[in-house]
Structure 1
Amino acid sequence: MYKERFFILVILVIIFSSCVRNKNPQQMQQSVIQTKQNVFEVTDVIQGSTYTYLQVKENMQDRWVAIAKKEVNKGDVLYYDEALQMTDFHSKEIDRTFDVIYFINTVSKTPLNQQPATMEGGMPAAHSGKVAAKDAEVEITKPEGEVSIADVFTNKADYSSKEFEIRGVVVKVNEQVMGKNWVHIQDGTGTGGNFDLTITTQAKVQVGDEVVFKGKITLEKDFGAGYFYDVIMEDASLISKKVS
Structure 2
Amino acid sequence: MKKFVQSSAIAWMLVLPTLGGAADGNMSTGTTTPHPATAGQTPVAPPQAGNPAPEGKGDGAVSGKIVETMNSGGYTYINLESSGKKTWVAVPETRVKVGQEVSCPSGTEMGNFTSKTLKRSFDRIVFCNSPLDKQDADLDAGEKSPGSKGAIVAQAGTVKVEKAAGANAYTVGDIYKNKAKLDRKKVVVRGKVVKVSGGIMGKNWIHLQDGSGSQKKGTNNLVVTSQDLPAVGDVVTMQGTLYKDKDFGSGYKYDVIVEEAKIQK
**TM norm structure 2:** 0.49
In the alignment, the residues of structure 2 paired with residue 231 and residue 139 of structure 1 have an alpha-carbon distance, to the nearest angstrom, of 21
Matched, 1:208 2:233: yes
Structure scoring higher RCO (CA < 8 A, sep ≥ 6) equals 2
Is the CA contact 2:171–2:189 (under 8 Å) kept in the aligned structure 1? yes
Is the CA contact 2:176–2:256 (under 8 Å) kept in the aligned structure 1? yes
Matched, 1:228 2:249: no
| Structure number with bigger Rg | 1
Matched, 1:171 2:206: no
**TM norm structure 1:** 0.52
Match of residue 138, structure 1, among 145, 159, 174: 159
Instruction: Report the counterpart of residue 148 of structure 1 in structure 2.
Output: 171
Instruction: Report the counterpart of residue 33 of structure 1 in structure 2.
Output: none
CA RMSD of aligned residues (A): 4.3
Shift of 1:104: 5.3
Is the CA contact 2:240–2:260 (under 8 Å) kept in the aligned structure 1? yes
Instruction: Report the counterpart of residue 86 of structure 2 in structure 1.
Output: none
Instruction: Report the counterpart of residue 128 of structure 2 in structure 1.
Output: 95
Instruction: Report the counterpart of residue 62 of structure 1 in structure 2.
Output: none
Shift of 1:45: 3.5
Superimposed CA distance per residue, residues 3-22 of structure 1 (whole angstroms, 9 cap, x where no aligned partner): xxxxxxxxxxxxxxxxxxxx
SS at match of 1:135: coil
Shift of 1:135: 3.0
Superimposed CA distance per residue, residues 90-116 of structure 1 (whole angstroms, 9 cap, x where no aligned partner): 37795289xx974355446xxx6xxx9
In the alignment, the residues of structure 2 paired with residue 53 and residue 153 of structure 1 have an alpha-carbon distance, to the nearest angstrom, of 42
In the alignment, the residues of structure 2 paired with residue 56 and residue 107 of structure 1 have an alpha-carbon distance, to the nearest angstrom, of 21
Amino acid corresponding to residue 178 of structure 2 in structure 1: N
SS at match of 1:205: coil
Is the CA contact 1:129–1:228 (under 8 Å) kept in the aligned structure 2? no
Instruction: Report the counterpart of residue 115 of structure 2 in structure 1.
Output: none
In the alignment, the residues of structure 1 paired with residue 66 and residue 187 of structure 2 have an alpha-carbon distance, to the nearest angstrom, of 47
Specify which structure has the higher proportion of helix: 1
Residues 61-140 of structure 1 aligned to structure 2 (within 5 Å) = 68-70=95-97, 72=98, 90=105, 94-95=127-128, 102-103=135-136, 105-107=138-140, 129-135=150-156, 137-140=158-161
Is the CA contact 1:170–1:206 (under 8 Å) kept in the aligned structure 2? yes
Counterparts in 2 of 1:169 and 1:195: CA distance versus 1, 3 Å: same
In the alignment, the residues of structure 2 paired with residue 220 and residue 190 of structure 1 have an alpha-carbon distance, to the nearest angstrom, of 18
Superimposed CA distance per residue, residues 122-154 of structure 1 (whole angstroms, 9 cap, x where no aligned partner): 99x799752332436311233788511111100
Matched, 1:196 2:204: no
Counterparts in 2 of 1:103 and 1:222: CA distance versus 1, 3 Å: same
Instruction: Report the counterpart of residue 185 of structure 1 in structure 2.
Output: 208
In the alignment, the residues of structure 1 paired with residue 163 and residue 147 of structure 2 have an alpha-carbon distance, to the nearest angstrom, of 26
Q: Matched residue pairs, number?
A: 167
Percent identity over the alignment is 33
For structure 2, the 5+ residue unaligned runs are: 1-64, 84-93, 108-125
For structure 1, the 5+ residue unaligned runs are: 1-41, 58-66, 73-77, 117-121
